[in-house]
Amino acid sequence: MRRTSIAGLALLAVMAAPACLARTVPAQTTPAAAPSGQDWNPVSRSATRVYLVDVNGITVNGDVTRITLARVPLHPPSPVDQSYVVVEMEYRCGAGQSRAVAEIEHDETGAALDRFETGEDFAPYSPQALDGYVAAVVCDGDRATPPTFPSIPAFIAAGRP
């Protein structure tokens, strides 16, 4: 028969107590809050326009990820011109495919005009093309270095940086 000392049992009880307590007290967790508002990230720039993606508006349904892209002119016809185009796009990240779903032009006051359905099918994109730059944001989680913008009018008001 094995003999255990009282001092040994006391030491074992002291060492095991914190572990037992940790298991009996449920962990307090707070669910992550969904992003609120828009967060327009510049993803590309040409000589004539800037392309921005609303990263808070990215949605996923099965293997299709939907985003909103804005094309904003760098050199508007007048300093007060607020025109731009919003393009609704979808990506199949695993397949390396994208398509434009619809475009909505905004006039010089920033008001939305008619929606135009593009009717495009999914097609492969090149990583070096605009769709590839957008895919880095949509599929890979890349984000622009601040500043980012809460709206397209805010980007325009900031001087189209």
pLDDT, mean of residues 3-14 = 38
Q: Which residue, 103, 85, 94, is CA-closest to 122?
A: 94
Environment class of 50 (CB within 10 Å of its CB; exposed 0-12, middle 13-18, buried 19+): buried
d(C-alpha 43, C-alpha 24), whole Å = 49
**60's tokens:** 């996923």
User: For the segment 118-132, what is each residue's pLDDT rounded down to a tens digit?
Assistant: 999 999 999 999 999
> What pLDDT score was predicted for residue 60?
97
Q: Which residue has the higher pLDDT, 36 or 49?
A: 49
CATH number, domain 40-157: 2.40.128
d(C-alpha 100, C-alpha 117), whole Å = 9
> What pLDDT score was predicted for residue 6?
38
- The domain segmentation of the chain, as residue ranges, is 40-157
The least confident of 21-30, 89-98, 123-132, 152-161 is 21-30
> What pLDDT score was predicted for residue 17?
36
Q: Which residue, 121, 88, 82, 80, is CA-closest to 104?
A: 88
